[in-house]
C-alpha cells in the first residue's frame, strides 16, 4: 500500500522522459509544490537524472514511449486516423493499474501528446490537467492523425495550461473551451540569476554578447553568428558567447571560421544552471533568433527570463511566446524572424550606447521578476488544488478506474 502524505493532495505527474536537463522546469515544479505530493510517472528516466530521482517518488512504465509501428499503423497515420497514435491495450492497462495503485486525486500531463495517451487509459475517472509546452501544439500538428486525436480528447481535460498566450489561440481553434485554458509560464528561478546590481563595463574590455540554448535551426544560431559578424565590423571590440549544443554545432563552428571570427566567438557547450548564471553575469547583451521551423514555434523562452533576471537587455525575434516577455524598446529590442540585418542593427545600437543598455537591463530585471518560477509554481499548484476540491466526492478525493 502506498503511503499517503497527511493533508496533501496526491497528483500523478506524467512526462515522457523524466530528468531531461532542458526540461528542468518539470523538476522545479515537483520540488516546489507545498500542498501537493507529486508522484512522477514516466516512460523513461533520463541517464543524467540522479539515482534518487531528486527525492521524488518515480514510476517508470515498462511500455516504451516510442514503439515500432506496424505497416497498418503507418498507413493509418498517413490517412489521419486518430486511433493510430493512441496507446495499445497493454499500455492502457498498465497506466490504468498504476493509477489505481497510486491512490491519487488528479493527473498532470506534461505535453498534449502525453495527455492523449493518459486520457485514453484513465477516461474521466480523475480530473486531468494538460500542460502544453511547444512542439506538442506546433510542429506535431502537421500529423493529421495526432491533430485528430487532440481534437477528440482535448475536451476531456479539466484545464489546459499553456506557457505562451499564442498557444491558447491555437488550442481554441482545436476545440478548447472558453474557460478551459490557463496561461502559466514555467518561468525561471530569478534569485539564481540576479547575481549583481548592474552591468557596468570596465574601460578597454570587450562588449560581451551571449546566447543560451540549443544549437538547432529553430533557435537560429547561424543567423545570430551572421548578425554578430555584421555588428562586429562596426564595433570590433565585441565578442559572442554561445552556450548550448545541438545539431548545428559543427555548422556554427564552420561558419565562424568562414567569417574569420574564431577569436571573437566562443562555444561553451552545455552548462549547468549555476555556470549559465555566471556567464550571464559577465555579459552585456542577450540575443536569440528564434524562428518557426517545420511548424515549431517558441513556446515561452525560459532563457530570456534568466537573461533578464541577470540584468541583460534582450535582442530577440518577435516569435511565439517571446512577445509575452519583451516590451520593445523597454527591456529589449524585437526584430522580425529571419531578418539578420535587423538583429545586427539592434546589437549595434545597444553596443554603442552603454546608458541605454543600463536602462534596458534594469527594466529587463524588473519585468523578469513577473516570471519567477516560484510564483508560477504556486499558480499551478493553486489551480490543481482548486480543481481537486471542486471535484471532490463525498468522503474522499480518491477515485478508482473500473
Long-range contacts of 269-273, Cβ-Cβ distance < 8 Å, separation of 24 or more: 269/243, 269/244, 269/245, 270/21, 270/243, 270/244, 270/245, 271/243, 273/24, 273/189, 273/192
Q: How do the pLDDT tens digits run along the chain, 402 residues long? A: 234 445 789 999 999 999 988 788 999 999 999 999 999 999 999 998 999 999 999 999 999 998 777 788 888 888 888 888 889 999 999 999 999 999 999 999 999 999 999 999 998 888 999 999 988 999 999 999 999 999 999 999 999 999 999 999 999 999 999 999 999 998 889 998 987 655 555 656 799 999 999 999 999 999 999 999 999 999 999 999 999 999 999 999 999 999 999 999 999 999 988 899 999 999 999 999 999 888 888 888 889 999 999 999 999 999 988 988 999 999 999 999 999 999 999 999 999 999 999 999 999 999 999 999 999 999 999 999 999 988 764 334 555 455
Structural domains of the chain ordered from first start: 9-187+372-390 (3.40.50.2000), 190-371 (3.40.50.2000)
> What span, in angstroms and rounded, lies between the C-alpha atoms of 159 and 193?
31
Closest by Cα among 320, 281, 329 to 302:
320
Q: Are 19 and 27 in contact (CB under 8 A)?
A: yes
C-alpha cell at 224: 545570430
Which CA distances in Å does 82 have to 134, 142, 283? 21, 13, 48
| Backbone phi, psi, residue 35, to 5° | -105, 5
Count of alpha carbons within 13 angstroms of residue 101, beta-carbon side: 9
Q: How many angstroms separate the CA atoms of 190 and 194, rounded?
A: 6
Amino acid at each position: 500500500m502506498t503511503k499517503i502524505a497527511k493533508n496533501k493532495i496526491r497528483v500523478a505527474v506524467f512526462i515522457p522522459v523524466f530528468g531531461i536537463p532542458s526540461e528542468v522546469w518539470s523538476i522545479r515544479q515537483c520540488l516546489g509544490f507545498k500542498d501537493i505530493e507529486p508522484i512522477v510517472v514516466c516512460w523513461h528516466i533520463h541517464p543524467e537524472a540522479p539515482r534518487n530521482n531528486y527525492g521524488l517518488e518515480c514510476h517508470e512504465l515498462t511500455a516504451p514511449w516510442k514503439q515500432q509501428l506496424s505497416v497498418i499503423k503507418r498507413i493509418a497515420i498517413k490517412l489521419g486516423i486518430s486511433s493510430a497514435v493512441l496507446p495499445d491495450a497493454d499500455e492502457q492497462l498498465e497506466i490504468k493499474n498504476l493509477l489505481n495503485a497510486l491512490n491519487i486525486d488528479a493527473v498532470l500531463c506534461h505535453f498534449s501528446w502525453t495527455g492523449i495517451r493518459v486520457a485514453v487509459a484513465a477516461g474521466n475517472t480523475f480530473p486531468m490537467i494538460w500542460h502544453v509546452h511547444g512542439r506538442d501544439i506546433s510542429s506535431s500538428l502537421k500529423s493529421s492523425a495526432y491533430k485528430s486525436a487532440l481534437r477528440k480528447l482535448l475536451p476531456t481535460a479539466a484545464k489546459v495550461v499553456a506557457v505562451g498566450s499564442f498557444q491558447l489561440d491555437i488550442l481554441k481553434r482545436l476545440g478548447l473551451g472558453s474557460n478551459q485554458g490557463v496561461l502559466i509560464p514555467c518561468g525561471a528561478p530569478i534569485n539564481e540569476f540576479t547575481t549583481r546590481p548592474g552591468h557596468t563595463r570596465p574601460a578597454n574590455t570587450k562588449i560581451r554578447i551571449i546566447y543560451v540554448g540549443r544549437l538547432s535551426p529553430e533557435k537560429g544560431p547561424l543567423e545570430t553568428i551572421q548578425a554578430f559578424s555584421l555588428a562586429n565590423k562596426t564595433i570590433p571590440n565585441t565578442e559572442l558567447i554561445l552556450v548550448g549544443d545541438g545539431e548545428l554545432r559543427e555548422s556554427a563552428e564552420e561558419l565562424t571560421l568562414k567569417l574569420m571570427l574564431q577569436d571573437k566567438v566562443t562555444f561553451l557547450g552545455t552548462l549547468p544552471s549555476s555556470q549559465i548564471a555566471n556567464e550571464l553575469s559577465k555579459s552585456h547583451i542577450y540575443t536569440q533568433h528564434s524562428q518557426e521551423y517545420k511548424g515549431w514555434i517558441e513556446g515561452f523562452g525560459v532563457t530570456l527570463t534568466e537573461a533578464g533576471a541577470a540584468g541583460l537587455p534582450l535582442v530577440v525575434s518577435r516569435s511565439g511566446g517571446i512577445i509575452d516577455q519583451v516590451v520593445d524598446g523597454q527591456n529589449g529590442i524585437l526584430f522580425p524572424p529571419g531578418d539578420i540585418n535587423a538583429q545586427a542593427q539592434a546589437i549595434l545600437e545597444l553596443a554603442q550606447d552603454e546608458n541605454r543598455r543600463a536602462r534596458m537591463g534594469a527594466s529587463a530585471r524588473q519585468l523578469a521578476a513577473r516570471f519567477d518560477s516560484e510564483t508560477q509554481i504556486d499558480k499551478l499548484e493553486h489551480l490543481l488544488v482548486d480543481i481537486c476540491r471542486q471535484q471532490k466526492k463525498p468522503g474522499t478525493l480518491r477515485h478508482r478506474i473500473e
